[in-house]
Chain A
Amino acid sequence: MSRQISRRTVLRGLGATLALPYLEAMNGWTAMGAPAEPNAARRLAYFYVPNGVHMQDWTPEATGAGYTMPFLLDTTLSKFKDDLLVLSGLTLDKARANGDGGGDHARSLSSFLTGRQARKTHGADLRAGVSADQIAAQKVGITTRFASLELGIDKGMNAGNCDSGYSCAYSNNLSWRSESTPMAKEIDPKLVFERLFASPGETSAARTRRESIRKSVLDSVNQDANSLRAKLGATDRRKLDEYMNAVREIEMRLNKVENKTVSAPKFTPAESIRPSGIPATFEEHVKLMYDMITLAFRADLTRVATFVIANEGSNRSYKNIGVSEGHHELSHHGNDKAKHEKIKKINQFHLQMFAYFLEKMKGIQEGSSNLLDQSMLVYGSGIGDGNRHNHDELPILVAGKGGGSIKTGRHLRYTKETPLMNLHLSLLERIGAPVPSLGDSTGPLKDLS
Chain B
Amino acid sequence: MNSGFHNYPRTAIAILFAVSGLVTQGRVSGADPVANYDADVLPVLKKHCFSCHNEKKPRGGVVLDKYKNLTEIKKDIKLWERVADNLRTGDMPPAGKPKPTPKQLDVVNRWLDSQVFEFTCTGDKDPGKVTLRRLNRLEYNNTIRDLLGVENNPSEEFPADDVGYGFDHIGDVLTMPPILMEKYLDAAEDVLEAFFKNRALVNKHLKLANPSIATKQDITRIFSELGNRAYRRPITKDEVAKLEKLSDSLINKGEKPIDGLKAAMLAMLVSPHFLFHVELDPDPNSTSSHDVNQFELASRLSYFLWSSMPDEPLFQLARENKLREKGVVEEQIARMLKDPKAKTFTRNFPEQWLQLRNLKTVQPDKTMFPTFNDQLRDDMAREAEMFFEHITKENKSILELLDSDYTFANSRLGRHYGLKMNGYQEEFKKVTFTDNRRGGVVTQAGVLTITSNPTRTSPVKRGKWVMENILGTPPPPPPPNVEELKEDGKALTGTLRERMEQHRSNPNCASCHQKMDAIGFGLENFDPVGVFREKEHGKTIDPSGELPGTGKFANPSELRKLLLSKSELFARCFTEKMLTYATGRGMERADNCVIDALVEDLKKDGYKMQDLIVAIVKSEPFQKRKAKRGPKT
> A interface vs B, CB < 8 Å?
1-9, 97-104, 120-126, 150, 154-162, 164-165, 167-169, 172-173, 177, 180-188, 191, 195, 210, 213-214, 216-218, 220-221, 223-225, 228, 231-236, 239-240, 242-243, 245-247, 249-250, 315-317, 319, 324-326, 329, 332, 334-336, 387-389
Query: Which residues of the other chain, B, contact A316 by a CB distance below 8 angstroms?
Result: 363
Query: Which residues of the other chain, B, contact A5 by a CB distance below 8 angstroms?
Result: 197
Check B492–A102 contact: CB distance below 8 A: no
- Shortest CB–CB separation between residue A225 and chain B, in angstroms? 5
- Interface stretch of the complex, out of B8-16, B108-116, B171-179, B316-324: B171-179
Query: Which residues of the other chain, A, contact B628 by a CB distance below 8 angstroms?
Result: 233-235
Check B270–A217 contact: CB distance below 8 A: yes
Check B181–A6 contact: CB distance below 8 A: no
- Shortest CB–CB separation between residue B486 and chain A, in angstroms? 9
Residue from A158, A181, A236, A319 within 8 A of B132 (CB atoms): A236
Check B157–A181 contact: CB distance below 8 A: no
Query: Which residues of the other chain, A, contact B284 by a CB distance below 8 angstroms?
Result: 231-234, 236
Check A210–B355 contact: CB distance below 8 A: no
Check A239–B131 contact: CB distance below 8 A: yes
In whole angstroms, how far apart are the Cα atoms of A387 and B366 in the complex?
27
Residue from A104, A159, A217 within 8 A of B266 (CB atoms): A217
> B interface vs A, CB < 8 Å?
1-4, 59-62, 82, 85-86, 89, 91-92, 129, 131-134, 149-152, 156-157, 159-160, 162-166, 168, 170-173, 175-182, 185-186, 189-191, 193-195, 197-198, 200-201, 239, 242-243, 245-246, 249-250, 255, 259, 263, 266-267, 270-273, 275-276, 278, 280-281, 284-285, 351-352, 354-358, 360-361, 363, 365-368, 453-455, 458, 468, 474, 476-481, 483-484, 491-492, 585-586, 588, 627-629
In whole angstroms, how far apart are the Cα atoms of A161 and B152 in the complex?
31
In whole angstroms, how far apart are the Cα atoms of A185 and B180 in the complex?
10
Query: Which residues of the other chain, A, contact B201 by a CB distance below 8 angstroms?
Result: 1
Residue from B85, B180, B627 within 8 A of A233 (CB atoms): B627
Query: Which residues of the other chain, A, contact B267 by a CB distance below 8 angstroms?
Result: 217, 220-221
Check B172–A101 contact: CB distance below 8 A: no
Check B60–A99 contact: CB distance below 8 A: yes
Check B163–A160 contact: CB distance below 8 A: yes
Check A220–B242 contact: CB distance below 8 A: yes
In whole angstroms, how far apart are the Cα atoms of A439 and B259 in the complex?
49
Query: Which residues of the other chain, B, contact A249 by a CB distance below 8 angstroms?
Result: 178, 181
Query: Which residues of the other chain, A, contact B588 by a CB distance below 8 angstroms?
Result: 124
Residue from B166, B453, B477, B478 within 8 A of A315 (CB atoms): B453
Check B180–A389 contact: CB distance below 8 A: no
- Shortest CB–CB separation between residue B52 and chain A, in angstroms? 9
Check B250–A101 contact: CB distance below 8 A: no
In whole angstroms, how far apart are the Cα atoms of A329 and B173 in the complex?
27
Check A388–B176 contact: CB distance below 8 A: no
In whole angstroms, how far apart are the Cα atoms of A225 and B170 in the complex?
21
Check A120–B175 contact: CB distance below 8 A: no
Check B162–A125 contact: CB distance below 8 A: no
Residue from B150, B157, B360 within 8 A of A8 (CB atoms): B157
Query: Which residues of the other chain, B, contact A165 by a CB distance below 8 angstroms?
Result: 3-4, 89, 477
Residue from A246, A326, A387 within 8 A of B454 (CB atoms): A326
Query: Which residues of the other chain, B, contact A210 by a CB distance below 8 angstroms?
Result: 189
In whole angstroms, how far apart are the Cα atoms of A375 and B194 in the complex?
43
A-B contact pairs, 13 of them (CB 8 A): A4-B193, A8-B152, A102-B480, A121-B172, A158-B160, A158-B357, A158-B361, A159-B352, A159-B356, A161-B468, A184-B160, A224-B239, A233-B285
Residue from B129, B194, B275, B476 within 8 A of A243 (CB atoms): B275
Check A232–B132 contact: CB distance below 8 A: yes
Check A217–B360 contact: CB distance below 8 A: no
Check B280–A231 contact: CB distance below 8 A: yes
Query: Which residues of the other chain, A, contact B586 by a CB distance below 8 angstroms?
Result: 122-124
